[in-house]
Amino acid sequence: MSNHDRDPVLLTPGPLTTSLATKTAMLRDWGSWDAAFNAVTARVRRHLSEIIHAEETHVCVPLQGSGTFSVEAAINTLVPRDGHVLVLVNGAYGKRMAKLTQMMGRRASVFETADDVPTTPEDVDRLLTADRSITHVGLIHCETSTGIENPLQAIAATVARHGKSLIVDAMSSFGALPIDARTTPFDALIAASGKCIEGPPGMGFVFVRRSVLEKCEGRCTSLALDLYDQWVYMEKTTQWRFTPPTHVVIALDAALAQYRAEGGQPARLARYQANCKALLDGMRALGFASFLPAAIQAPIIVTFHAPADARYTFKAFYESVRDKGFVLYPGKLTQVETFRVGCIGAITATEIRHAVNAVADTLAEMGIRAVTPARAVA
């Protein structure tokens, strides 16, 4: 039976399934220069900073667009034109950071490990010791292409010991995994509205060390992506420089209220961990193998090996599960065929178990019996 007449549950890394209260918040129109809207913007910035205890050292600069807009803005604003960025890569989003760094005319060096191998602080120490010209390090905290968690705290300490600047893409970790600006040294940390805070997509934000941002005037090569100008203008006028995503801001404010009511970061992490456990237990019972070992698997999104059965195609599998009310995500790996299932959003382990049942029904309908994949060839 098709569920196209209902909103599907989005088991993706974003956009996510949002709560009714978050959706309802978007039913009102707001003027972008109105004092009431500007007060909401200020409140959102303050509450976001409180999540990582960054109020005393960093400023929260919101930006229109997807998370990648904010990654580009952070690097373009913070890295001098003669700067040198070491990008730590073990997935598609690390590669994207390296690509946009190079496209903006900054020098980029890449240290790449396999998709299932986290970067270590020892790696970073060795690389920074060998090349003193490196000024900045770019790290993906939770690499969404697999769900791997890289050791932010240890890498941040190593970067700080070398006197370098750390830029963290925390798109899929902010709000769920513990991050504390008081004990984790970074100059910029980037996230977005449509991830673990469970707002709609359309707004990114960057936490920038105030003492660093104050020195960035005129550095950015883009008008729209200049975090320094955005920050100065907001501080002076309380307004956005250009038309803001008003409905997204208001809905994010509603999502943040629910986030605090749930119990903040510890409660959000606990719910996602329960979701992840239900997902792994259920899928393994069906014969699926997860790509990552448990020690480096963040409870955000899980990559599974595709069934070895010749009757399997992701398109048919996806559409059948979608008809049952659940949206999965394609894999991003090139050497082995995979698909991904998200654990985040306004969902609980109950929805996850229903999704696993939908997968089981789909396998039966497709006549797929060989689920466990053949060993991947390196």
**Domains present along the chain, CATH in parentheses:** 9-15+264-366 (3.90.1150.10), 20-261 (3.40.640.10)
For the full predicted model, state whether its pTM sits above 0.75: yes
pLDDT of residue 374: 55
**333 three-state secondary structure:** coil
Average pLDDT over residues 281-296: 96
Q: What is the pLDDT of residues 160-202, one digit of tens each?
A: 999 999 999 999 999 999 999 999 999 999 999 999 999 999 9
Question: CA 65, 142, 229: angle at the middle one, nearest 5?
Answer: 35
Peptide bond into 201 cis (omega under 30): no
**Summary mean pLDDT of the chain:** 95
> At 377, is the pLDDT very low, low, confident or very high (cuts 50, 70, 90)?
very low
Residue 147 contacts by C-beta under 8 Å, 6 or more apart in sequence? 291, 292, 297, 298, 300, 301, 302, 303, 340
Confidence of residue 354 (pLDDT cuts 50, 70, 90): very high
- Percent of the chain with pLDDT strictly greater than 70: 97
Residue 4 in this model has a pLDDT that exceeds 50: no
Is the CB of residue 176 less than 8 Å from the CB of residue 265? yes
Query: Closest Cα partner for 139 from 4, 220, 157?
Result: 157
What confidence category does residue 378 fall into, taking pLDDT thresholds of 50, 70 and 90? very low
User: Residue 34 has what pLDDT?
Assistant: 94
Q: Which helix (H) or strand (E) holds 339?
A: strand 338-342
Q: Is the pLDDT of residue 283 over 90?
A: yes
Residue 373 pLDDT level (bands cut at 50, 70, 90): confident
Give yes or no for a contact between 200 and 26, defined as CB atoms under 8 angstroms apart. yes
**pLDDT tens digits for range 228-243:** 999 999 999 999 999 9
